[in-house]
């Protein structure tokens, strides 16, 4: 007996976000693949088993809507109409090759919908058209995709390879939507396949390393200034980017609401970050230390270029504690952190450590990603309008409570 799924079960699968394929009943299926949720209908026409994907996926197309569309499809089959063939005719059955698919996808989904559509068009024209353009859609396979990526990688075009892979994934998803291909031959390729090295991104500090590192920061104030120490506290507790913290003005901070506003920049959209109780003394100390400057971390040197500290200030200070040479005229300091048992890390690894702590504290992925001001992807992207401010406040409080016993000395001189 076929198990019929209800809307609550569909919603639970959607929230879990894992790859899945489940029968809903009466030939209708729910599928999540690489973060994209869709509906498809299985039917038999002229003795052949066929499938057709609904044009809209979940949650834009609800379970009730999907059932209604599935009923229409089944009715057409009973009346001698092949829904697959009908859709091909409606889309102008001229889409036969990869080149045809690219142009249909580009015109409908890219040209007037993205900021710089020419980037996708240029990469396709220069790197994909001659390699894949003439292939029939029914013949294209993951091996063909891999061969293209390998060829691009051998020529040293890592950035181009990344965009080419992105184009293929999006283009073939468009083909699935139109029922022109049954699966996406590029979907399971990742950055590893285009030569990206993910090992540096895995560095996060253990609890012991956090405790030892911050104790060392406090002990080595002749190398690692108080301002540097307070900046690192904020980076670890708020998960912000270094550039956002060091360039902040006091007008961005609301101590009454315990929020810190970061405007839009080259790498991220604007976001309001909740400040946990433990960071209030840190901010109050910085207010005193800034001596009336409009910047939270004012430059201690007179500079016509800008009023806040250099991008390299924190990087160099941390490098000194690892015994690295940062000044050609001076001898390097001893590897103080290494001798204390702390493996090398960078300032940005504090942000990665923050993300690791969110996972350790069981903060849901959607909230954790918004804590980092990452745009939600796939099925979660539809919730991007909701900023999870209170949920992020709770998450930052959990992180601060966890770190409190590890980091002693707080904002005391």
What digits encode the pLDDT tens for the residues 253-283? Answer: 999 999 999 987 766 788 999 999 999 999 9
Instruction: Give the span between the Cα atoms of 309 and 131, in whole angstroms.
Output: 49
Mean of the per-residue pLDDT values for the chain? 86
pTM: 0.52
Q: 251, 237, 350: which is closest to 296 by C-alpha? A: 251
Query: In the predicted model, what is the mean pLDDT of residues 169-183?
Result: 88
Instruction: Give the span between the Cα atoms of 84 and 323, in whole angstroms.
Output: 66
Q: Where are the domains of the chain?
A: 7-90, 98-196, 201-403
343: left (phi over 0), alpha (psi -120 to 50) or beta: beta
Could you tell me which residues are beta bridge partners of residue 44? 49
What pLDDT shows up at residue 59? 84
Give the number of residues written for the chain: 413
Residue 190 confidence class, pLDDT cut points 50, 70, 90: confident
**CATH node for 98-196:** 1.10.150.130
Residue 87 confidence class, pLDDT cut points 50, 70, 90: confident
Q: How far apart are the first and last CA of the chain?
A: 71
Given this structure, which CATH class describes domain 201-403? mainly alpha
Instruction: Give the span between the Cα atoms of 89 and 60, in whole angstroms.
Output: 25
Residue 2 confidence class, pLDDT cut points 50, 70, 90: low
Which fold does the domain 7-90 belong to in CATH?
A: Double Stranded RNA Binding Domain (3.30.160)
Instruction: Give the span between the Cα atoms of 309 and 218, in whole angstroms.
Output: 20
- Sort 288 into a burial class: Cβ within 10 Å, 0-12 / 13-18 / 19+: exposed
369: left (phi over 0), alpha (psi -120 to 50) or beta: alpha
Residue 189 confidence class, pLDDT cut points 50, 70, 90: confident
What pLDDT shows up at residue 274? 96
Tell me the pairing of strands 253-254 and 259-262: antiparallel
Can you tell me whether residue 39 is helix, strand or coil? strand
Q: Which positions ≥6 away from 69 have C-beta within 8 Å? A: 39, 41, 54, 61
pLDDT, tens only, 88-128: 776 656 788 999 999 889 888 887 776 677 888 888 998 99
Query: In the predicted model, what is the mean pLDDT of residues 142-170?
Result: 87
CATH topology match: 7-90 vs 201-403: no
What is the 3-state composition of the chain as percent helix, strand, coil, each rounded to the nearest 5?
50, 10, 40
């Amino acid at each position: 007996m076929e198990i019929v799924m209800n809307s609550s079960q569909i919603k639970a699968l959607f929230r879990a976000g894992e790859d899945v394929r489940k029968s809903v009943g009466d030939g209708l299926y729910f599928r999540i693949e690489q973060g994209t949720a869709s509906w498809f209908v299985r039917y038999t026409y002229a003795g052949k088993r066929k499938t057709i994907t609904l044009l809209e996926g979940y949650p834009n197309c609800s379970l009730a809507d999907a059932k209604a569309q599935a009923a229409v499809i089944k009715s057409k089959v009973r009346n001698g109409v092949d829904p697959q063939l009908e859709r091909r005719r409606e889309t102008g059955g001229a889409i036969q090759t990869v080149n045809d698919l690219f142009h249909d996808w580009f015109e409908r989904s890219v040209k007037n919908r993205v900021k710089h559509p020419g980037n996708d068009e240029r990469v396709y024209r220069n790197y994909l058209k001659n390699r894949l353009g003439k292939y029939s859609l029914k013949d294209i396979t993951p091996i063909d995709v891999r061969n293209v990526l390998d060829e691009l990688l051998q020529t040293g075009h890592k950035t181009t390879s990344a965009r080419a892979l992105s184009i293929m994934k999006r283009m073939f998803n468009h083909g699935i939507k139109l029922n022109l291909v049954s699966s996406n031959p590029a979907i399971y390729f990742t950055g590893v396949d285009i030569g990206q090295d993910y090992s540096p991104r895995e560095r996060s500090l253990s609890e012991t390393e956090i405790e030892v590192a911050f104790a060392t920061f406090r002990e080595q104030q002749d190398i690692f200034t108080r301002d540097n120490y307070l900046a690192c506290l904020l980076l670890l507790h708020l998960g912000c980017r270094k550039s956002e913290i060091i360039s902040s003005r006091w007008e961005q901070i609301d101590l009454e609401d315990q929020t810190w506003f970061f405007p839009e920049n080259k790498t991220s959209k604007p976001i309001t970050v909740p400040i946990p109780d433990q960071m209030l003394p840190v901010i109050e100390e910085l207010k005193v230390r800034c001596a009336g400057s409009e910047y939270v971390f004012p430059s201690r040197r007179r500079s016509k270029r800008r009023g806040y500290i250099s991008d390299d200030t924190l990087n160099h200070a941390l490098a000194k504690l690892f015994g690295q040479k940062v000044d050609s005229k001076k001898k390097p300091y001893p590897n103080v952190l290494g001798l204390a048992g702390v493996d090398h890390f960078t300032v940005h690894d504090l942000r990665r450590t923050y993300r690791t702590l969110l996972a350790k504290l069981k903060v849901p992925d959607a909230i954790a990603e918004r804590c980092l001001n990452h745009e939600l992807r796939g099925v979660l992207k539809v919730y991007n309008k909701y900023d999870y401010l209170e949920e992020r406040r709770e998450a930052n409080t959990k992180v601060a409570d966890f770190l409190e016993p590890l980091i002693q000395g707080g904002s005391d001189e």
